[in-house]
Amino acid sequence: MTTTIDTNPAVSEIVTDTNAAANTITVTDGPAENGFQTTQVVSNGNTTIFANKTSLVIAAGSNNFGSNAVLDNPDPAAGLQGLAIAVTGTINGSNPNAGSPDVAAGDIILHAGGGIGTNRALRTQASILEAQAGSLVAGNFNIANGVTAPVTLTITELLADSQAGETITLTNNGTINDTASGIAATGAVNITANGATADFNTGSGAIIESTTGSVTLMVGRDINLGDSSGEGTVAASTGINVLAGGNITLNANAIIETVTSGNISLTAGGNFTMLASPATGGVANAPAVADGASGGTISIFTGSGKTMTLDSTGATAVESTNGAIFLAADAIVINKAVSAGTARIDLGVATAGQTISLGTTNTPGTLGLTLAELDLLDGGVVQIGNTVAGNITIASQIADLTGSNTLTLENNGNISEGAFGSLIEPNLRIVSAGSVLLGNTGNDISTLAAAVSNGLTFNNGTNALTVGTVDGQQGIFASNSAISLTADAMTITQAINAGTGIVTLAPFTASQTVNIGAGNGPGTLGLTDAELGEVTASVLLVDSGQGTINVAGGVTRHAGFNTLSLSTFGGVFQTVALSVANLAVRKWQQHHADHRRQPRRHARLHLGRDLYICRFRQQPADHRRGRRHHPIVERRVGHHHGRRQRDPRVRYHVYRRGGADQQQRRDRRRRPRHRVKPCPLGFDRHRHSGDTIADANRHTQCPDRHRRDLYQ
């Protein structure tokens, strides 16, 4: 056993006995020598004290398999700038002070045949780091740098790629620059740069890669991948997770990609930017975010009020292999394609309440998406909005998305169309917590499904509309609020559920005929009995406009609604039986300046067995009581008991054709109008507010007091 004190400022190297058995090398703080701080190395019982050294290399011989190094040298030899340790076994720290490094030097190189930091993270304080683990036997890599003070760390090389499943974990208190040989492991790679001003920069050909595992990159501020000098790629086999407190920027030489399985998640507290220039070094089709794993998803999110820019030197900026793509930002600029194959693409906002405008560019407070940008989205479903989005406005025509035949709108506000806005798409799904008013006549949706909270009004113009299943939503559901659908032809294959609200079905063309109990036909909106059975509402209103309503097929009573209301400017006709709990018929009439000359138009509904509902002309004012005409109101028809029923306020009667009832109708028509004449004694039959009791009593002496026909 010997003790050697080396104060020579030249580089020193210790090589342990190549014939010795495996042993442990310890590196600790040594005693002061001539006023200098020293580093003490003990190996095979031999102690060497180094002082006044600029660089030190400690290496075990090639035959000493299993030689380990244990480090507790937080205060290295005075002037020591570089420390290299190479052993065939493991390298670990033993400093009991958690706030102090196990080894400190400006430039540290660690090579281990086994693992580095196997019992806990090896604590270092270095500005330059090179490390390799598991070159002889499987071993992981776990280093925490900058434990004494924040430091910018430059990585020359981090490797754990010789044996299967080897992992790399590096945490630095400060910025990390990787612009040399890169970081590679067969297992997972986990890189963390802590601190509000800590960045991660890679480029000049450096690659972060896991051949069989995942890559996780977490940075306090900005992440910059690739530079003008060369590649800065992040590649993994089983998924990538990147989180930055600030911006994430991909230079034209940067690619983020997975190969075998897993998802890609990129989250920026600031902007997310993909640059098409500048670039040298020639990485084709970069920048790009690509998930080659079948079904693997891609998520890209920015901070509140920030912008996402998707661009590339190739045709596609973001691409999955039939996996969903989720994008969220308060402003999105799409210059190159986003492709999800057969999976969905969701574009949402980052800030709750942020409005969305389709057909316009971004403006402060509004996420704008032009039709040209929407046409760059290639997926089975394109969804605009999310559960926190504010109002959505269709500012201009959104027609036939190039990359998808299904559009979903989702938000926590209202959805409406501007003066020039319309939607033309085979399939539309709406999910909204607000009111939905899509009433422009330029809409052309083949299949509609919706789940809304405050009512839905949809106008499909002259185009046929199917209520079906879209993007997993079956039919139309409104939480106890009104549903109004307008189209010249409808096919209802899924439920229309308004709860206690009213469902209105109407044709767009004013003269369109409506057939109840029968299907669609040329010039006819048909509603079969099965389709009526899909409706749940307090009232089902069928409004034919100026066309007629025909009960053309059998209609059975359905539990979904209590009242069927028929509204028309034309006639209501029936050829087969109609069975409903309650029936309301509304016959509207065009009003003219001289209402006494308005055309007499009747609506008659046959109830079966010679029973009809018929509308008669309004009676003149009741001059006896000084009342105005009662307004047109609905008449609900219940049990008639074979007799005529009449509510004096309502212009609808139930009558039996023929016989005395028909004679009474003829007599009523012949009755002259405006027959009221003054009382011979000069008193009105009705006691007005100015009459006295005596005046009222005198009227009982009128010889015509029993002539009721004179006062009708």
Domain boundaries, the chain: 1-149, 343-497, 500-590+600-674, 677-712
Per-residue pLDDT band for 602 (boundaries 50, 70, 90) equals: very low
Residue 593 has pLDDT above 50, yes or no: no
Which of these, 192, 160, 297, lies nearest to 240 by C-alpha position? 297
pLDDT tens profile 43-84: 877 888 888 778 888 887 665 566 899 999 998 888 888 999
Backbone angles phi, psi at 16, to 5 degrees: -70, 165
Half-sphere exposure of 634 (CA within 13 A, CB side): 16
- Non-local (6+) Cβ contacts of 7 within 8 A are 33, 34, 36, 50, 51, 52
Q: What is the dihedral of CA 685, 691, 695, 696, to 10 degrees?
A: 40
Span 189-193, average pLDDT: 98
Per-residue pLDDT at 685 exceeds 90? no
On the question of pLDDT at 630 being above 50, the answer is no
Helices (H) and strands (E) in the chain, counts: 4, 69
The token pair at 348 is 């949402």
pLDDT for res 638: 43
Query: Which residues in 72-110 are b (16+ Cβ under 10 Å) and which e?
Result: bbbebbbebebbbbbbbbbbbbebeeeebbbbbbbbbbb
Q: Which pLDDT band, with edges at 50, 70 and 90, does 691 fall under? A: very low
Please name the amino acid found at residue 381.
Answer: V
Kindly tell me if the per-residue pLDDT of 663 is higher than 70. Answer: no
Residues 625-631, mean pLDDT to the nearest whole number: 39
In angstroms, the CA 424 to CA 405 distance is 10
Place of tokens 């890169």: 182
Find the mean pLDDT for residues 450-467.
97
Q: In what order do the strands lie in the sheet with 604-608?
A: 604-608, 611-615, 652-656, 645-646
CB contact at 8 A, 298 and 346: no
In angstroms, the CA 44 to CA 677 distance is 136
DSSP letter at 560? T
Q: What is the pLDDT of residue 391?
A: 98
Handedness of CA 99, 103, 106, 110 (dihedral sign): negative
Distance between CA 302 and CA 304 in Å, rounded?
Answer: 7
Strands annotated E in 380-488: 381-384, 392-394, 397-399, 406-411, 415-417, 422-432, 436-438, 444-452, 456-459, 464-467, 469-470, 473-474, 476-478, 483-486
Among 489, 512, 516, smallest CA distance to 576 is for 516
This prediction has a pTM of: 0.82
Q: CA 101, CA 151: separation in Å to the nearest integer?
A: 13
Residue 679 has what pLDDT? 52
The neighbouring-strand residues paired with 355 are: 366
Write the DSSP symbol of residue 622. B
Residue 701 has pLDDT above 60, yes or no: no
Nearest to 429 by CA among 405, 412, 413: 405
Specify the DSSP element, H or E, that contains 310.
strand 307-310
Question: Quick one: CA dihedral 462, 464, 469, 475, positive or negative?
Answer: positive
- Rounded distance between C-alpha atoms, residue 281 and residue 283, angstroms: 6
Measured CA to CA, the distance from residue 712 to residue 710 in angstroms comes to: 6
- ω into 620 cis (within 30 of 0): no
Cβ-contact 615, 632 below 8 angstroms? no
- Distance of alpha carbon 379 from alpha carbon 368, whole angstroms: 20
| pLDDT value for 652 | 43
pLDDT for 53 equals 77
Query: Mean pLDDT in the chain?
Result: 84
Q: What angle do CA 449, 452, 458 make, to 5 degrees?
A: 60
pLDDT at 19 (0 to 100): 53
